[in-house]
Amino acid sequence: MSGKVKVVVTRKLPDAVETRMMELFDARLNLDDIALTHEELIMAVQSAEILVPTVTDNIDAEVINSAGDQLKMIANFGAGVDHVDLTAAAERGIIITNTPDVLTEDTADLAMALVLMTPRRMGEGERIVRAKQWTGWTPTYMMGHRINGKRLGIIGMGRIGTAVAERARGFGLAVHYHNRHRVTEELESKLEVTYWESLDQMLAHMDIVVVTCPSTPATYHLLSERRLKLLQPHSYVVNTSRGNIIDEAALVSLLEQGAIAGAGLDVFENEPAIHPKLLAMENVVILPHIGSSTIEGRVAMGERVIVNAKTFIDGHKPPNRVLETLL
């Protein structure tokens, strides 16, 4: 590639990131921060040499196959790439990159916050105070459950799962995990975690379950109705990964029945739409997909996009190419 490469950015990014992109590339920004329609995405890939999408963009086979030969790279702003048709991209020889590592700590912080908030009924308590319904302290008012000494099961011991395990130990939780591949003995010893080869067996023994695995075809509804029914009635579910990993309708039903004690959710199966019954449940803490939403994290994500794009433009392999590992 010669001259300034045309880079199309689908959503508004932090000012520092957009400024640097304007300096380095022929950058087309989305100043209104309104998600592009499917038709607008098709138009974008017909002129872009590098596309910078986010999780809100459905880069499906139709979009990719509409791209001109000039589209060489999709530099995703975010770690998850489940919104990109990787097979279609591979067939067109389009490089896919993401932004791992830089959002790990922020997402783990939020997961841990939900682990704390949900059993202690913090969301419910905050709503009561704001509604001016609190009449004062009493010995039996708003009693929740302590987390110290409880068993925490982590689904997915990648970067974020590992960071959650590190935090959980500080709160006195006994940490367990299920992962596609067992981590090293050294890491297990360092984190003081217990491995379960069977997800079903782990679920039946946990007090709190945290979902931190990526969204892939293999993890779609990983927590199905059958698996959710394995949880004990006093158990809580926390999800900061992707909404489609949990069968949301089944979760709602089991929460209604009291078969699960509560849930802390930062992601939803059909977001931004949220199941209306979840909105009405006092034992559910709901957040608007803010797992990586810190100023530091979002700037670092943008910087990682720039590094991937600049490295590719300079003729080298981008450091965060994901296609080989996810196909």
Q: Please list the helix, strand and coil fractions of the chain in percent, rounded to the nearest 5, in that order.
A: 40, 15, 45
| Contact criterion met (CB below 8 Å) for 264 and 238 | yes
- Across the chain, where does the E strand assignment appear? 6-9, 26-28, 50-52, 73-75, 95-97, 151-155, 174-178, 193-195, 208-211, 236-239, 262-265, 284-286
Answer whether the bond into residue 319 is a cis peptide, omega within 30°. no
The closest of 43, 5, 51 to 25, measured between CA atoms, is: 5
| Mean pLDDT (the chain, rounded) | 95
Per-residue pLDDT, 58: 96
pTM: 0.90
Query: Which domains can be identified in the chain, with CATH numbers?
Result: 6-102+294-326 (3.40.50.720), 104-286 (3.40.50.720)
Task: Please give the structure tokens belonging to residue 325.
Answer: 């590992």
> Does residue 181 carry a catalytic annotation?
no
Mean pLDDT, residues 135-149 taken together: 96
Per-residue pLDDT, 325: 47
What phi, psi does 297 have (nearest 5°)? -65, -45
> Does residue 188 carry a catalytic annotation?
no
Mean pLDDT, residues 151-180 taken together: 97
Each residue's pLDDT tens digit, 33-55: 999 999 999 999 999 999 999 99
The catalytic position among 121, 176, 227, 242 is: 242
Per-residue pLDDT, 302: 97
The catalytic position among 167, 289, 298, 304 is: 289
The catalytic position among 166, 188, 271, 303 is: 271
Each residue's pLDDT tens digit, 70-85: 999 999 999 989 999 9
